[in-house]
Amino acid sequence: MAQTLAADMVSVAFEGLRALSDVTLEIPAGRVTGLIGPNGAGKTTCVNVLTGFQKPSMGRVLLDGQDIGGLPAHRVRQAGIARTFQSGRLFADLTVHENLEVTGVGLGLSRREASRKADALLDWIGIAPLSERLAGGLPYTDERRVAIGRALMLEPAFLLLDEPAAGMSAEEADDLSRLIHRIALEVKCGVLLIEHNIGLVLKTCHSIYVLDSGEIIEFGTPDAIKASEKVRHAYMGTQTDAEGEIL
Amino acid sequence: MAERASILSRTIATPVILGLLLTAIALLALLMGSGPFNQTIIDIFIRVILVVGLYIFIGNSGVISFGHIGFTCLGAYMTAWLTIPPPMKKMALPGLPGFVLEAKLPFWVGVPAAAIFAALIAFFFGKILMRLSGIAASIATFAMLALINQIYSNWEDVTGATSSVVGIPINRSIWPYFVATLVAVAIGYAYSISRSGLALRAARDEATAAAASGVDIPKERLRAFVISAFVMGGGGALYAHSVGVVTPDTFYLGLTFISLSMLVVGGMGSLSGAVIGVVLLSTIIQILRLFEKGVALGDTVLTIPNGVQEIAIGVIMIVILMRRPAGIIGNREVGWKGLRKA
């Protein structure tokens, strides 16, 4: 299993507009790394680059030192880098079980093997009772957990979670935090957690990157990030005071 | 945790029930025993084959194709080339290569050869077309249909251009058509439960997430495209043997419209929908045709104007799209206990 996923001096420009500038970050295996930043800082673009949905204009994406920057998204997943999406994006007309099965099939398993893995994983996450429900009709929180399950099929080396707690209550976010820890510990995944819920990030992550206007402005442990003047400034400058006080 | 039943045992009821429905239709023809009715039943079987062919690609990928009747054209002409008696071929189609001109193959060789030929051509078209999505893909398939039609309408010494190609051996027994229809349904079922079928339905619902799940979407689409072209080509060849004559315009907009209507009315997302759509609309068409010719009620003959048939199909399609956009069957399949989720 791969040990590190890294962005090396990655820049992305959309028609002259710079979404990311010289971003360098590293996601180690078995740990939870956070990525925070104000709206429009380039967090999702960063995930898109790391998962093959966006080609970097400059720089490299390295999986254990090997450049995977040009691979299409399905090949990146086959290489062991999984992701979820902000909007869930479940296969609405398929059952929960089939949603997971698709990943198994996409990674080369037979339907029978994929089906077995899907059942085991649904059990592990604790959503086995949902397996025959159509994914399109699920409540928000369940949708998020199914999306994580779908990404976790066949134990990827890395899992990138794009705002998995959006819209969750404090209690649900706590459950999610526990699940993320289990993923890092038991599946030995390197997890990248992107969140607006900064409390969740501070509680869950081992180390945190802060992105502002497409640049990494700070990196450190949760305590260091809490104390950082630069981070406080970035948030105060672009967001309401109320949100700034969360730090 | 209980071991889950295999996908085959959970879904096998669908092709079995559809097979029984088709068998019932075949037996009906046998009971009636008359020539014209036999022909009607053969027409229904051929349409089931064509619509199941459409379902394999459209139903699973969600990409509407206006081009598949082009493959039917390819299949019909291929079996004509292989099975028309050599003396007739040399007169009508002198441009064919020598070994084809000399060939006098039976229809049971011509039909599979036609299906394989259509699949082969689909592979080359698909290599390019399957990179496209949504409306762009649909329009490109339409361009493909126009392209095939133009080639076959103009290649005088190979296709006879727009004039009829005659002399295709006619087979009036319903059994070959019945067996071919069962084979088409079996292919449609096998594809829908296959890995590729599942991956493609995922891509239909959410292309981005399917790619993030490791699915190579153009590759899976190409598989469905080639398999569906195989079925469409075989259907075209059977059509040729059911009437003995082919022209390029038989396989153009009219047939495209009617077969897509049947798929939409029955339910694009399901094999059962494809089969039931054909049976339902074919029955309505037959009844309206009867009235177009005139039905005697006592002393008066009731006739409806020509064209009502097409108008009725159009109206039914619009009403279905308004009331039940997923078709009569929707995204479900028939099972022993009624409908179940596809």
Count of structural domains, chain B: 1
Among the residue ranges A159-163, B63-67, B127-131, B292-296, the one predicted with the least confidence is B292-296
CB B82 within 8 A of CB B35: no
Q: Which residue of A has its CA nearest to B208?
A: A89
> DSSP per residue over B75-113, as a string?
HHHHHHHHHS-HHHHHHH-TTS-HHHHH----HHHHHHH
A:B CB pairs within 8 Å:
97
Using a CB-CB distance cutoff of 8 angstroms, which residues of chain A are in contact with residue B211?
A: 53, 72-74, 77
Considering only the beta carbons, identify the residue of A85, A91, A151 that sits closest to B202: A91
Helix (H) or strand (E) holding A23: strand A17-28
B212/A contact by beta carbon, under 8 A: yes
- Of all residues in chain A, the one with the smallest CA distance to B217 is A74
Q: How far apart are CA A158 and CA A155, in angstroms?
A: 8
Averaged pLDDT of chain B:
93
Which residues on adjacent β-strands are paired with residue A212?
A215
| B341 neighbourhood in chain A, CB within 8 Å | 95, 134
Residue B39 is assigned to a structural domain of this protein: yes
From chain A, the residues in CB contact with B216 under 8 A are 72, 74, 106
Whether residue B261 is contained in a domain is answered as: no
Nearest CB among A111, A128, A151 relative to B198 is that of A111
| Interface-testing mutation among A76, A85, A90, A102, with chain B (most B C-beta atoms within 10 A) | A102
A234 pLDDT above the threshold of 90: no
The pLDDT of residue B305: 85
**Minimal C-alpha gap between A240 and chain B (Å):** 33
Kindly provide the b/e burial profile for residues A2-29, where b requires at least 16 CB atoms within 10 angstroms of the residue's own CB. Answer: beebbbbebbbeeeeeebbbebebebbb
- Residue B325 covered by a domain: no
Give A-chain residues touching B206 at CB under 8 angstroms: 89-92
C-beta separation of B121 from B71 below 8 A: yes
Nearest to B205 among A94, A106, A150 (CB): A94
**pLDDT, greater one: B293 or B270:** B270
Spatial separation of the C-alpha atoms in residues B40 and B54, rounded to whole Å = 21
Tokens linked to B254:
């009219």
Nearest to B277 by CA among B51, B68, B60: B51
- Nearest Cβ partner of B1 from A94, A98, A119? A119
Percentage of residues in chain A having pLDDT higher than 70? 95
ipTM for the predicted complex comes to 0.92
Residues of A in contact with B214 (CB under 8 A): 74, 77-78, 103, 106-108
Strands A32-36 and A207-212, sheet pairing: parallel
pLDDT number for residue A241 = 47
The residue range of the domain holding B39 is: 9-248
Residue B110 in any domain: the answer is yes
The residue ranking higher by pLDDT, A193 or B314, is A193
Which residues of chain B have a CB within 8 Å of the CB of A82?
212
b/e burial code for range A57-75 (CB count within 10 A of at least 16 → b): eebbbbbeeeebbebebbe
Query: Under an 8 A CB cutoff, do A102 and B215 touch?
Result: yes
- The helix or strand, by DSSP H or E, that contains position A65, with its residue range, turns out to be none
Domains of chain A with CATH codes:
4-92+158-244 (3.40.50.300)
Would B37 be classed as within a structural domain?
Answer: yes
* pLDDT bracket for residue B3 (50, 70, 90): low
* Chain B residues lying within 8 Å of A99, measured CB to CB: 202
A4-13, B28-37, B91-100, B207-216 — which is least confidently predicted?
A: B28-37
3-state DSSP of A138-150: CCHHHHHHHHHHH
- Could you tell me if B331 lies within 8 Å of chain A, comparing CB atoms? yes
Q: Which of A53, A91, A115 sits opposite B206 (nearest CB)?
A: A91
Find chain B residues with C-beta within 8 A of A106's C-beta: 199, 210, 213-216
Give first-to-last CA distance, chain A, whole Å. Answer: 35
pLDDT at A244: 44
Helices of type H across B267-328: 271-293, 308-323
Task: Tell me whether residue B280 is in a domain.
Answer: no
Q: Which helix (H) or strand (E) holds B326?
A: none
Chain B nearest C-alpha distance from A44 (Å): 14
Tell me if chain A has a CB within 8 Å of the CB of B279.
no
Q: Which of A215, A205, A209, A243 is closest to A228 using CA atoms?
A: A209
Structure confidence at residue A240 as a pLDDT band (50, 70, 90) = very low
pLDDT of residue A68: 95
Q: Which of A116, A91, A95, A105 is nearest to B223 (CA)?
A: A105
Tens of pLDDT, residue by residue over A88-106, are 999 999 999 999 999 999 9
Q: Can you name the residues that pair with A218 across neighbouring β-strands?
A: A210
pLDDT score of B5 more than 90: no
To probe the interface with B, which of A81, A90, A91, A96 has the most B CB atoms within 10 Å?
Answer: A91
